């Protein structure tokens, strides 16, 4: 079985969010199940030169973008046993960042056609399945259906389309995209692509793929409701058993506190006493009060409303009155960045906010923190809580999306549960969940049992990979 995994980002080459982790770890897990999975993504300018210098040029060809012909170089590099292909075009991808440009619709229209054309030039590999991810690849099933089905190499290819975050749908003007994509007018007159006054890449992916998935069972049900569905709830609800939820995992080799070179002292569920050394070191490094008995709350997140940062800012002084420390790593909306920096300056011994992102520092927070806060407004899956569990940091989460699927709340009467949860999107409800965690923290034997149960949970990719294998086999 041959699968081409199509994405806009993949660790370690280009990673902005959870999609980058998934695009590395899921193909790796699928290959262990015997599937010939290969990954393709843009060759961005900010990919490390160490990787770019090792890439091999496979082929060069032109790609139609409207009335223009644009150059495409197809490059190859194997990493960690996974074959990666890169679409090379300096006009579209030699920029300082991966996303956020005025011509995003054009960039990923080009990318969509370039990926499909690249299949002709990959030796001994015609995919049985195209596995597309998020809005950037949503037009690939559409163009495949419109322009490539008459070609024998493409006529039997099936498509899987995975939604990682429904909020970002790739909506652009119909007139512009009609020219860029080369689709006939009847495609744009159909409701399958329309999104109010524009055209939605994501809607195209949902309508023209054989199977649509999203990244947790609970989120798959939530997005059928107006509040979570971002205008596509009716469409997703109409898909029946062609729309499924498959929970994400994390790479247990990549995220392993017993071998992680980013942290000061390695530890495991059997050497849990070593974890506190990471906290003491981080307290010293950040000039927080050095006190191993004071609980540290970690937050590694985009600082945006979706992640519930507004709830934290609303009651942050109330949280600090619980005699805890807070360490934040992330970047996002200016309002939240400024607010967190302000409280860091007012309470320097209790809170540290690092605006930006650094993978090594993120690992230090996971290893040092006692609790990990994710009060999301919505969360398709969430990887932070899974990493936190792996590193023995007890999650405090809102019961939404994948957070609800993965964090069973602690029950003081039965002893069950691996975290603390709240249901309403409300700062006081969140504060009460933190208070419950704070109270249990002081009872070390109970707290350590919660940590241990979380650390032995199997949130690796093996289960999800088997689920995707079943989907692929069903399609074929």
Binding site listing: 15
**End-to-end CA, the chain:** 9
Residue 364 phi/psi, 5-degree rounding, is: -60, -40
- The answer to whether 275 and 392 have CB atoms below 8 angstroms apart is yes
- Longest CA–CA span in the chain (Å) reads 69
Number of residues in the chain: 476
Here the tokens at position 246 are 């498959």
- CA quadruple 444, 450, 451, 456: dihedral, nearest 10: 140
Sequential DSSP letters for 363-424: HHHHHH-SEEEE--S--SS-SHHHHHHHTT-EEEEESSHHHHHH-PBP-TTT---SBEEE-S
List residues forming the annotated binding site for ADP-alpha-D-glucose.
15
> Distance between CA atoms of 278 and 391, rounded to whole angstroms?
11
Residue with tokens 């060759």: 43
Please give the radius of gyration of the chain, using alpha carbons only, rounded to the nearest integer.
Answer: 23
Is the CB of residue 214 less than 8 Å from the CB of residue 240? no
Residue 188, H or E segment: helix 185-189
Strand-by-strand arrangement of the 171-173 sheet: 171-173, 198-200, 194-195
């Amino acid at each position: 079985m041959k699968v081409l995994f199509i994405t806009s980002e993949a660790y370690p080459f280009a990673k902005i969010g959870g999609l980058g982790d998934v695009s590395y770890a899921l193909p790796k897990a699928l290959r262990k199940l015997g599937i010939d999975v290969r990954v393709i993504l843009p060759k961005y300018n900010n990919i490390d030169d160490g990787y770019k210098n090792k890439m091999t040029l496979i082929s060069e060809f032109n790609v139609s973008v409207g009335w223009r012909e644009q150059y495409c170089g197809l490059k190859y590099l194997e990493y960690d046993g996974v074959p990666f292909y890169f679409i090379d075009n300096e006009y579209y991808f030699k920029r300082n960042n991966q996303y956020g440009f005025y011509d995003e619709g054009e960039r990923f229209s080009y990318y969509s056609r370039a990926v499909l054309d690249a299949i002709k030039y990959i030796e001994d590999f015609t995919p049985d399945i195209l596995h597309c991810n998020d809005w950037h690849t949503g037009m690939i099933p559409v163009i495949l259906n419109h322009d490539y089905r008459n070609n024998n190499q493409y006529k039997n290819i099936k498509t899987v389309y995975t939604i990682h975050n429904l909020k970002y749908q790739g909506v652009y003007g119909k007139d512009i995209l009609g020219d860029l994509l080369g689709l006939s007018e009847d495609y744009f007159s159909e409701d399958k692509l329309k999104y109010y006054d524009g055209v939605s890449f994501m809607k195209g992916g949902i309508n023209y793929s054989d199977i649509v998935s999203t990244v947790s069972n609970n989120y798959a049900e939530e997005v059928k409701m107006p509040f979570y569905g971002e205008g596509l709830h009716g469409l997703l609800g109409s898909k029946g058993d062609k729309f499924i939820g498959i929970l994400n995992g994390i790479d247990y080799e990549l995220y392993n506190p017993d071998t992680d070179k980013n942290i000061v002292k390695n530890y495991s569920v059997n050497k849990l006493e070593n974890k506190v050394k990471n906290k003491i070191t981080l307290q010293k490094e950040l000039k927080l009060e050095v006190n191993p008995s004071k609980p540290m709350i970690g937050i590694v997140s985009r600082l945006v409303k979706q992640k519930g940062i507004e709830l934290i800012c609303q009651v942050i002084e109330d949280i600090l009155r619980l005699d805890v420390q807070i360490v934040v790593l992330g970047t996002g909306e200016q309002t939240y960045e400024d607010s967190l920096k302000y409280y860091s300056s007012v309470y320097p011994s209790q809170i540290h906010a690092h605006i930006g992102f650094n993978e090594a520092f993120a690992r230090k927070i996971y290893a040092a923190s006692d609790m990990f806060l994710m009060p999301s407004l919505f969360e398709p899956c969430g990887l932070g809580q899974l990493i936190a569990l792996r590193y023995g940091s007890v999650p405090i989460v809102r019961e939404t999306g994948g957070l609800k699927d993965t964090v069973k709340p602690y029950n003081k009467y039965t002893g069950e549960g691996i975290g603390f949860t709240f249901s309403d999107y409300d700062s006081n409800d969140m504060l009460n969940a933190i208070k419950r965690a704070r109270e249990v923290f002081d009872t070390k034997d109970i707290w350590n049992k919660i940590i241990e149960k979380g650390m032995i949970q199997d949130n690796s990719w093996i289960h999800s990979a088997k689920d995707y294998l079943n989907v692929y086999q069903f399609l074929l």
